[in-house]
Amino acid sequence: MRRFSLVLCLVASTLGSQQPDTVRKDSSRVDSSPPTPEQERYLDGLRTVGRGIAQLKDGIDRVVRAYGAKDSVKLAQAGRRLGGLCGSAHTFMGPGRTQMRATAYDDSVRTHARKLALQIDSVIGYMPTCQHAAFRTPNKTAADVLGLIRSYEGALRTFRTDIGLNRPQALPSQ
């Protein structure tokens, strides 16, 4: 139980400091060519998936706060809410994922686009379990969902770097 509370404390500290996970149109693209219609469709699907991921993060945050308050009633309510948000997130992520065809990108980016899609598939695949288990075991379910989200975020970061949306920022001069 002590190990699990440590995990939930880490969850709480990382959720608040995360940057938004949605892909936005950015004028700082590395290549000057505009995205093709297939690439636009992929990014639109990714934005829809990002809405579902945001709902999951909200549910995890609720469980973490309830666990920190050591209130079993609030924890049960947060678990119920997480289960509902898993269902809601599933309705966003499913249609968004169907728009994401990795063949829209060249070989160099296609590999990371496929890996990102596989991570999204993993999150989507866990949503029925999340819906049913969140009330009974909110802590474990939140930790499981968080692990899937972290894998998704790593793949997203790599993909965004490949398409030129994550550019390293220059260090401020002193």
Q: pLDDT digits over 76-100, tens only?
A: 999 999 999 999 999 999 999 999 9
**Distance (Å, whole) CA 67 – CA 78:** 9
Q: Quick one: pLDDT at residue 8?
A: 52
The answer on pLDDT for 11 being more than 90 is: no
User: Whole-model pTM?
Assistant: 0.75
- The domain spans of the chain are 36-163
Report d(CA 49, CA 21) in Å as an integer.
9
pLDDT digits (tens, 9 = 90+) for 40-73: 999 999 999 999 999 999 999 999 999 888 888 9
pLDDT at position 34: 85
145: which 2 tokens? Answer: 């969902």
State residue 24's pLDDT score: 46
